[in-house]
Amino acid sequence: MKRPRLFNLFLLTCGTALGILILLPVLALLLAASPTGLLKLFTQPQVLQALWITLLSSLLALPMIFLLGLPSAYGLSRCSGRVRRSLEVLLELPMVMPPVVAGLALLLAFGRRGLLGDLLNGVGLRIPFTLGAVVLAIVFVITPFFVRRCVVLFDAIEQKLEEAALLLGATPLQTFWHVTLPVVRRGLFAEGVMALAQGVGLFGVIILFAGNLPGRTQTLSLAIYSAFESDPQQAFSLGALLLLISLLLLATVHLLAPPEGGR
Amino acid sequence: MNDLICRLHYPLANFDLAAELTVPPGVTVILGPNGTGKSSLLRLLAGLNQPVSGQIMLGERCLYDAEKQIFLPPEQRRIGMVFQDLALFPHLNVSGNIGFGLKMRRTSSGERQKKVQQLLEKLSIKHLAERDVATLSGGERQKVALARTLATDPQLLLLDEPTASLDPSARGEIRRWLQAVLTRLRIPTLLVTHDAEEVAYFRKRVVVMEQGQIIQQGSFHQLLREPASEFVARFVGVNYILGDVREQSGKLAFYSRGGTKFLAPFEQVVPGPAFMTVLPWDIALYRELPDGSPRNNLYGEIHDVVIFGDRVRITLAQEDKLVAEISTRGYLALGEPQPGEKFWAVFKAREARIESYEESPC
């Protein structure tokens, strides 16, 4: 019985090391930012603007993520075999794309000289370097993650529930709306908050596709980047602020997520 | 008449489901061993799976026709189905579950509530109306599931093992309740089960399925008298003995696999593989072989004694196995036989029914 104990010790050591790796920088950041420094942030118009743009862009992206993501996820969870696997690979594409590359790719698709450039110019729409670009970047990066997690939710639904609804005369759309969605509503809410949390932190893709224009496209992440060059202490405070927002969202997810089903 | 008439073909994992069935209004029980395609048959009728060929007619309506390429989706079939695991909606309370079908049909809220109330009263579950379905007992869940289905006025009702998931104490009550509710309905109802007691509640029309085929249809009484297979015989509790009919000096005799010779009327029987059935209550037990008219007899050791109220079932086994059912009085008169004691099982030749086997059973 010696080996298992040694093995357990090994597991424990690795786990502890990982725990320290995660917590140490978080702690360092929170220590570097003083409470007064944090409070002072709220007196600076530029910070408030960045905060506003961060929240606004994420909140605007959310309905689009749901609108595109939910039906796609449901459809995907109905698929099986090769079709499903190829669609899943398609979803993984934006996930593995380096954020900077994603920003470039978005520019080349929606930019003035991009693939859709003429079309967008024709209707007088200019996307890059606007709030719209921030939103589009978030939707582009976050939706695949959202869809992946929602597929897991939909897969877990007992198919009999939907069949029972159909046999009671509900159309497939009614079944989706009145049975499928309500059954996973807690999970969906948690996924929505998770998408917000992820969107708030984007950097690479936004700076390339939307630029770093204070008051227009500068989110908190971008503001940290700008501040770090001139005033590191300001960057630390902003970093702590962003971290607190993320922690808050994470806590919300976990308060909502656990008791799926069974009310 | 609003009969269900169907002819279906559908491949299953190990065999093909090939069923032809007519179901008149009233309860018809589908009986068969587990994994024989009973639930698949219900799913095909409900439109949850599509057969490869065949036709389903419900009254005048065609639900499925392979040749005419008609396949009505489940939501247009007006078929009520109660799943084995019931599938109550966890996000709705009891009234919400029962009213679901009406809500989907855009019935006005007032009318819906009226209908739900009526059903709750009719099925005597009014006290459950506002309950969360997660807090219901197994029997209550069963009642709510049936109420939910009946709320949409189905033209065909499918029940998949309605009491299988209940604990034995609730089973009897639900069976009586089901019997009371179902016999009042005027629609074709198919009730799937693999439980003999359930069949006894709905004994008029029984359909036996084995390996995807319908092998016998009739009343429970007919099954008892003329079981078409070993499964049916064992299921209804009839002795079923395999053997051969041989011709010896112009006379027929049945020899069991165990080598015992039995006599019977031998109507329409030809020499060759055959099986014999005897009802347990036609068999008498004796310590000493009685004299008198020629009878069938088997000497063997008692393996098992089961007392059900005023009846006692005694299993006698040697080379062949026979189950005898005698009255408790008879049992006491024999001096309460115990396992291990040796007895003669005796029955008249005319109580034995022998039938040829088309193919040699393996």
Domain boundaries, given as residue ranges, for chain B = 4-230, 241-356
The Cα–Cα gap between B348 and B327 comes to 18
Asked if residue A205 lies in contact with residue A219, where contact means CB atoms within 8 angstroms, the answer is: no
> Which alpha helices (H) appear in chain B, and where do they start and end?
38-46, 94-104, 109-122, 138-150, 168-184, 196-201, 220-225, 230-236, 328-333
Considering only the beta carbons, identify the residue of B75, B90, B134 that sits closest to A170. Answer: B75
Nearest by Cα to A248 from A200, A197, A186: A197
CATH of domain A44-256: 1.10.3720.10
Q: What is the pLDDT of residues B73-119, one digit of tens each?
A: 999 999 999 999 899 999 999 999 999 999 999 889 999 999 999 99
Considering only the beta carbons, identify the residue of A163, A168, A182 that sits closest to B152. Answer: A168
The DSSP bridge partners found for residue B355 are B275
The Cα–Cα gap between A107 and B358 comes to 78
Averaged pLDDT for residues A48-75: 94
Residue A180 has pLDDT above 70, yes or no: yes
| Rama region for A76: left / alpha / beta (φ>0; ψ in -120 to 50; rest) | alpha
Report residue B23 as tokens. 């179901």
The Cα–Cα gap between B156 and B186 comes to 9
- A-chain residues within 8 Å CB-CB of B101? 168-170
Q: What is the pLDDT of residues A222-246, one digit of tens each?
A: 999 999 988 889 999 999 999 999 8
Report residue B54 as tokens. 């065949």
> How are beta strands B251-256 and B239-248 bridged, if at all?
antiparallel
Residue B222 confidence (pLDDT): 84
The Cα–Cα gap between A197 and B293 comes to 93
> How are beta strands B261-262 and B251-256 bridged, if at all?
antiparallel
The Cα–Cα gap between A200 and B325 comes to 78
Residue A70 has pLDDT above 70, yes or no: yes
Nearest by Cα to B31 from B216, B165, B188: B216
Nearest by Cα to B20 from B281, B212, B150: B212
* Structure letter (DSSP) for residue A83: H
Mutation for testing the B interface, residue in A168, A171, A188, A260 having most B CBs under 10 Å = A168
Residue B359 confidence (pLDDT): 52
Considering only the beta carbons, identify the residue of A160, A166, A178 that sits closest to B74. Answer: A166
Show the low-confidence residues of chain B (pLDDT under 70): 1, 293-294, 358-362
- A42-A46-A48-A49 Cα dihedral, nearest 10 degrees: 180
Residues 6+ apart with CB under 8 A from B305: B312, B313, B314, B315, B337, B338, B339
Residue B293 confidence (pLDDT): 60
Fold of domain B241-356:
OB fold (Dihydrolipoamide Acetyltransferase, E2P) (2.40.50)
Residue B205 to chain A, least CA–CA distance (Å)? 25
| Overall size of chain A counted in residues | 263
- A-chain residues within 8 Å CB-CB of B105? 169
Assess if CATH 3.40.720.10 describes domain B4-230: no
Q: What b/e string do you get for A143-157 counting C-beta neighbours within 10 Å, with b at 16 or more?
A: bbbbbbbbbebbeeb
The Cα–Cα gap between B200 and B195 comes to 9
Residues 6+ apart with CB under 8 A from A201: A221, A242, A246
Considering only the beta carbons, identify the residue of A163, A165, A262 that sits closest to B90. Answer: A262
**If interface means Cβ-Cβ distance under 8 Å, which residues of chain A face chain B?**
158, 160-161, 163-172, 174, 178-179, 182-183, 185, 261-263
Residue B50 confidence (pLDDT): 93
Question: Between residues B318 and A87, which one has the greater pLDDT?
Answer: A87
| Rama region for B5: left / alpha / beta (φ>0; ψ in -120 to 50; rest) | beta
Contact B87 A164 (CB under 8 A): yes
Asked if residue B328 lies in contact with residue B238, where contact means CB atoms within 8 angstroms, the answer is: no
DSSP A116-185: THHHHHHTT---TTSHHHHHHHHHHHHHHHHHHHHHHHHHTS-HHHHHHHHHTT--HHHHIIIIIHHHTH
Residue A78 to chain B, least CA–CA distance (Å)? 14
Residue B48 confidence (pLDDT): 95
Is the predicted ipTM greater than 0.85, yes or no? no
DSSP A13-74: HHHHHHHHHHHHHHHHHHHHS-HHHHHHHTT-HHHHHHHHHHHHHHHHHHHHHHHHHHHHHH
Asked if residue B68 lies in contact with residue B62, where contact means CB atoms within 8 angstroms, the answer is: yes
Report residue B264 as tokens. 């019977």
Mutation for testing the A interface, residue in B42, B45, B89 having most A CBs under 10 Å = B89
Residues 6+ apart with CB under 8 A from B143: B123, B125, B128, B174, B177
Residue A174 to chain B, least CA–CA distance (Å)? 7
Asked if residue B326 lies in contact with residue B284, where contact means CB atoms within 8 angstroms, the answer is: yes
| B59 backbone dihedrals φ, ψ, rounded to 5° | 60, -125
> Which alpha helices (H) appear in B7-93, and where do they start and end?
38-46
- A-chain residues within 8 Å CB-CB of B79? 167
Asked if residue A163 lies in contact with residue A243, where contact means CB atoms within 8 angstroms, the answer is: no
The Cα–Cα gap between A240 and A250 comes to 15
| B274 backbone dihedrals φ, ψ, rounded to 5° | -155, 170
- pLDDT band at residue A263, thresholds of 50, 70 and 90? very low
Which own/partner pairs from A258-262 qualify as long-range (CB within 8 Å, at least 24 positions apart)? Answer: A259/A186, A260/A156, A260/A184, A260/A186, A260/A187, A261/A183, A261/B90, A262/B90, A262/B134
Helix, strand or coil for residue B154? Answer: coil
Domain positions in chain A are 1-32, 44-256
Residue B358 confidence (pLDDT): 63
Helix, strand or coil for residue B161? Answer: coil
Residue B135 to chain A, least CA–CA distance (Å)? 10
Residue A260 confidence (pLDDT): 46
Residue A262 has pLDDT above 60, yes or no: no
